[in-house]
Amino acid sequence: MSGDSVAVPATSEGRSLGSRVTGSLYAVGAYALWGFLPLYFVLLEPTGPWEVVAWRILLSLAFYAVLIPLAGGWARLRAILRRPQLLGWTAVAGVLIYLNWQLFVVATLSGHVIQMSLGYFINPIVTVMLGVLVLREHLRPMQWLAVGLAVLATLVIVVGYGAFPWLALGVAFSFGFYGLVKKRIGPSVDVTSGLTLESLWLAPLAVGQLVVVALTTGLTFGTSGPGHAALLAMAGVVTAAPLMLFAAGARRVPLVVLGIAQFITPTMQLVIGVVILDEPMPGERWIGFGIVWLALIVFTADAVIAARRRATEVTPDTPIRQE
C-alpha cells in the first residue's frame, strides 16, 4: 500500500461513539432494574428463595422460547449448538448466574439486603481486576486510586459487620466472573441465544429444586391468591429484561465502564435496606459506604477527563497512516 494519509470518515467514528453510548445506556438500565429487585422478592413472600430461583429459571426459559422465533434467532442458536466450546462457555455462564441469583434471593429474604449491597459495591473491584489480569485492560492512576479506596471501604465495612460477609463476597465474585465470561464470548454469542442456553442448562436443576420444595415445605405458586400468582408469574420477564440489557451492554463497553455503572445497583439496594426494610446501619458501615462513594467519584472524574482528552485528540479528520 502507498504511504498516503487517509482521513477517517466521520460516520465510522460516529458509529463507534454511538455503540459506546448505547452500551452504556443498556448497562445503566440493567443495574437500575437490579436495584429494584429486593422489593420485588419481598413482595413474593411467603415463597422461599429456592422456589423463587427455580421459577426464575423456568419462566425465563419460557420467555426466551417465545422471543427467539419472534426475533428470527433460530439460525444463530443452531450455529452456536454446532460449536462445543461455545456451548461449554454458556454452561459456565449459567452456573455462575445461578449462584448469583440464589445468593441474591437468600440475602434478600433473610434480611441481609445491606450486605448484598456491599457485595455489589465490591463487585466493581472484582470486575476491574479481572479486566486487568485476564483481558489485559489498563488502568490509569486515578482508576488505581479508586480501586484502592474501594478495597479500604470493604475492609472498614467488614470490620463493622463483625462477621465474615460470605453472602456479599459470593454475590460479588459470582457476578464478576459471569461478566468476564459474557465479555469473552460476546462477539460469538448473541444476547438472546446466550441467555436461552444458560437457562436451558439450568432447567433440570430448577425442576429438581421445585420437586424438593414440593416434597418438603410445599409450593406456593397459586396458593397465596391471584395477586401473588401474577407477581410470581412475572419472574421470567423480571429476570430476563436486565440480563438482556446487561449482555447487550457488556458487548459494547469495556469492563471498566461496567465497573462504574455497577455502583447504581448497590446504592439503590442500600437505600431500600435502610429506608424501606429498616435494616440496621451502624456508624462503621456508613463510614465504609462513604469511602466507596468517594471511590465512585474518583472513577467518574477519571472517565470524564479521559473522554474529554480523547475528544480533543481524535477528530473526524484525524489522519491514519496505511502501510
At 82-110, the pLDDT tens digits run 888 889 999 999 999 999 999 999 999 99
In a domain, 274, yes or no: yes
Is the pLDDT reported for residue 10 higher than 50? no
Is the pLDDT reported for residue 256 higher than 60? yes
In a domain, 17, yes or no: no
pLDDT at 48: 93
pLDDT at 2: 37
In a domain, 254, yes or no: yes
Question: Average pLDDT in the 287-302 region?
Answer: 80
Distance CA 18, CA 274 (A): 37
Which of 174, 189, 216, 224 has its CA nearest to residue 85? 189
- Cell numbers that stand for 156 in this block: 472498614
**Cross-strand pairs, 154:** none
Q: Is 219 left (phi over 0), alpha (psi -120 to 50) or beta?
A: beta
Q: Are strands 5-7 and 319-321 parallel, antiparallel or unpaired?
A: antiparallel
Total count of domains within the chain? 1
Question: Average pLDDT in the 172-193 region?
Answer: 83
- Cell numbers that stand for 159 in this block: 470490620
Distance CA 161, CA 151 (A): 15
In a domain, 138, yes or no: yes
Asked if residues 146 and 295 have their Cβ atoms less than 8 Å apart, the reply is: yes
Distance CA 188, CA 88 (A): 13
In a domain, 6, yes or no: no
pLDDT at 252: 79
pLDDT at 259: 63
Tell me the C-alpha to C-alpha distance, in Å, between residue 167 and each of 58, 78, 159, 178, 267. 24, 37, 15, 16, 17
pLDDT at 159: 77
Is the pLDDT reported for residue 73 higher than 70? yes
- Cell numbers that stand for 300 in this block: 467518574
Is the pLDDT reported for residue 228 higher than 80? yes
Band of residue 17 on the pLDDT scale cut at 50, 70, 90:
low
pLDDT at 287: 86
CA dihedral 252, 254, 256, 262 (to 10 degrees): 20
In a domain, 26, yes or no: no
pLDDT at 57: 94
Average pLDDT, the chain: 81
Lowest-confidence segment of 11-15, 56-60, 81-85 by average pLDDT: 11-15
Q: Which helix (H) or strand (E) holds 253?
A: none
In a domain, 22, yes or no: no
Band of residue 50 on the pLDDT scale cut at 50, 70, 90:
very high
Is the pLDDT reported for residue 149 higher than 70? yes
| pLDDT: which is higher, 70 or 178 | 178
Range of the domain at 168: 49-314
Band of residue 11 on the pLDDT scale cut at 50, 70, 90:
very low
Lowest-confidence segment of 35-39, 56-60, 105-109, 149-153 by average pLDDT: 149-153
Asked if residues 292 and 121 have their Cβ atoms less than 8 Å apart, the reply is: yes
pLDDT at 261: 76
Which of 97, 113, 21 has its CA nearest to residue 57? 97
| pLDDT: which is higher, 207 or 300 | 207
Is the pLDDT reported for residue 180 higher than 80? yes
Residue matched to cell numbers 481524535: 314
Task: Locate all alpha helices (DSSP H) within the chain, ordered by sequence.
Answer: 10-43, 49-70, 74-81, 84-109, 113-133, 141-161, 166-185, 191-216, 226-233, 235-250, 255-261, 264-271, 283-313
pLDDT at 283: 81
pLDDT at 107: 92
Number of C-beta neighbours around residue 192 at 10 A: 21
| pLDDT: which is higher, 289 or 226 | 226
In a domain, 34, yes or no: no
Distance CA 191, CA 234 (A): 20
Number of C-beta neighbours around residue 204 at 10 A: 10
